[in-house]
Structure 1
């Protein structure tokens, strides 16, 4: 088995390698952070998590296993190790999640491939039919740069742009020595094609296709619930996020939820919602101009009062399974972001944002936390891991056999 010392090397917020032991320890920490349910379900619900290896999708998978005892399927797209590179962090996180599930007596299968493809939908449907039975819950958490439409073969690429006019914002960057810099960047406005392609990738089309695929095969249980994970965020990031191309996709996702909710209620007495989560450091969010600065300032205001994704998704599972009532806003969205959008919190973050410069940023934002969180996405900066020791990189994908 190949072993080597793995050191963090990055281009901006993107790391070239991942640390298997660090990724495994992070998964274990997330699992241990989930409190036991006050009342365990009488039987293990069958669940499907699409986008199960990273960010909120990983949190949904671990919280579902540790809190609810789900059994079922996780779908993700990760790259294996090669002679030159480690596997992606999600590969190692999935292997660790599968091992914890096995040790705790939960039957969970992980499939690696294109969640947008009909071939993956067929594979999931067949696995449900042969092994798990009808589906009780589906959590949809896919953030991808492009999608190929199975019907037309057309490939769409998402764009991260404002709508209507160019957008100028402060953003946070680190040089090769890790020194922070606050600077301004300008993003040119989206074209109509940019908007349409982003909606095609990140809107509700694929979520709806998954539901159609499983419903047509009579694989949805009575009372089936589904949630697509979303984000609204602060007015400070509106121009590039909620009012931009991504926001157009999120609006489409929410409209899809309303359509699906009507259909599922008639079909199986079911429910479809979007779940609006709070801010977090993820591989997707760090790519958005201004988000890194905003999240660092938010942490500077809230400190440990920030609610991590694993705690948010534990709360979502309680609502999906009926342990707590499903609490939605006027637009039918579950809101897990109240702690972030509290008016006093936003006022404090805005005050810091307005005065943030390269010279002042270290006292306004919790940059040590932010920098560590970015590294932790790839298994680095994890307490208890000896990064000077060689570690095995050839970790196999979890066995799907019963």
Structure 2
């Protein structure tokens, strides 16, 4: 037994430990928020899905919504750290909780912990599809955010960066001091130099997504009508220089080009589809690292209130479209758009007005800071209602075991 009291120590938006019970309750809350599925294909006839990046952010939402709404069976892939001197990563505990919920609801869903960029993990997943899930995959959801990627063919490791393209960019950003008081700072980020953009595209673009399709297709593991979707983001003009027009945006543009190429290929080979899904803003472990995003999301919440659509609700809509419960809702570039609630002119004008007025002295009245800080803490299992954080908890939670 390794019970102990887990405290919420942090460095900025990064917490040093994660709370296993809080993570479990947070995942259960996501599951409970998904509308009842109604008639669905049960048991061995349920669609087989692979979610790459299944333990955090939109990938976690895709996993939970797929299980709770679409009744999927299949495989989730993520790369998480086991408990040791510190607790496990939050994604480790969220995966354990998701596995418990899947089992309790009769879903056959297993989890692989490893580097999704590697051929070894691709082969492990291929083996599971072949041996456990009748050799055919119906859906693949790709949701990977990573700082680096090693190309299995060349052994070269690429690193992604968050930089504007062309010239330095100054933006407002939200930080909190050691006492938790909010502060608005202006930060400047230098432009991408050398091969920064190419490196970021190599990590966060569509190369690995295409490699997954290559690997599975070569082994004849794609079902007729197979669909795959990569999760993406466009965002506001307020954050555009650091995001959509920056190095990450170049990677997202590559992801969309990859979708078009894969769509043509899959249509010919299995009568399938490849799409990107443009999701709306959310507080995630990845997004809080981007300058300006924390401020933007806090202001957006203050404008929309409960009209802000959480990730699991967005991914529920996506699964309805992927499984034919609802028609595909595509924009002129063939992308699923789940972000229209965020990018309407009225909403963006209201957020922009608050952005211009935001200072350290005014921010408390302009942004929903209580909501934002709660969201950040809940990423690590803290500030979850109903959890006794003064009580010791078991931190040595095992990774879900594959059972027959």
Q: TM-score range by the shorter chain?
A: over 0.9
Matching residue of 2:117: 116
Matching residue of 1:361: 363
Q: CA deviation at 1:209?
A: 0.2
Distance 1:356 1:33 in 2: 33
Distance 1:270 1:387 in 2: 48
What's the RMSD between the two structures over aligned residues?
0.7
Q: CA deviation at 1:125?
A: 0.4
Matching residue of 1:2: 2
Q: CA deviation at 1:38?
A: 3.8
**Secondary structure at 2:31 match in 1:** helix
Matching residue of 2:40: 40
| Larger deviation, residues 95-104 vs 325-334 | 325-334
Matching residue of 2:126: 125
Matching residue of 2:373: 371
Q: State which of 228, 231, 250 in structure 1 corresponds to 2:230.
A: 228
Q: CA deviation at 1:191?
A: 1.4
- Name structure 2 gaps, 5 residues minimum: none
Q: CA deviation at 1:80?
A: 0.4
Distance 1:80 1:315 in 2: 33
Q: State which of 319, 322, 328 in structure 1 corresponds to 2:321.
A: 319
Distance 2:6 2:284 in 1: 21
TM-score w.r.t. length of structure 1:
0.99
Instruction: List structure 1 segments (4+ residues) > 2 angstroms apart after TM superposition.
Output: none
**Secondary structure at 2:188 match in 1:** strand
Q: CA deviation at 1:326?
A: 1.1
TM-score w.r.t. length of structure 2:
0.99
- Name structure 1 gaps, 5 residues minimum: none
Distance 1:76 1:139 in 2: 12
Q: CA deviation at 1:330?
A: 1.1
Matched, 1:96 2:97: yes
Matching residue of 1:395: 397
Matching residue of 1:191: 193
**Secondary structure at 1:223 match in 2:** strand
Q: CA deviation at 1:39?
A: 3.3
Q: State which of 332, 336, 340 in structure 2 corresponds to 1:334.
A: 336
Distance 2:144 2:185 in 1: 30
Distance 2:293 2:168 in 1: 17
Deviations 1:228-287 (A, max 9, x none): 000000000000000000000000000000000000000000000000000000000000
Matching residue of 1:347: 349
**Secondary structure at 1:39 match in 2:** coil
Deviations 1:197-235 (A, max 9, x none): 000000000000000000000000000000000000000
Q: CA deviation at 1:41?
A: 3.2
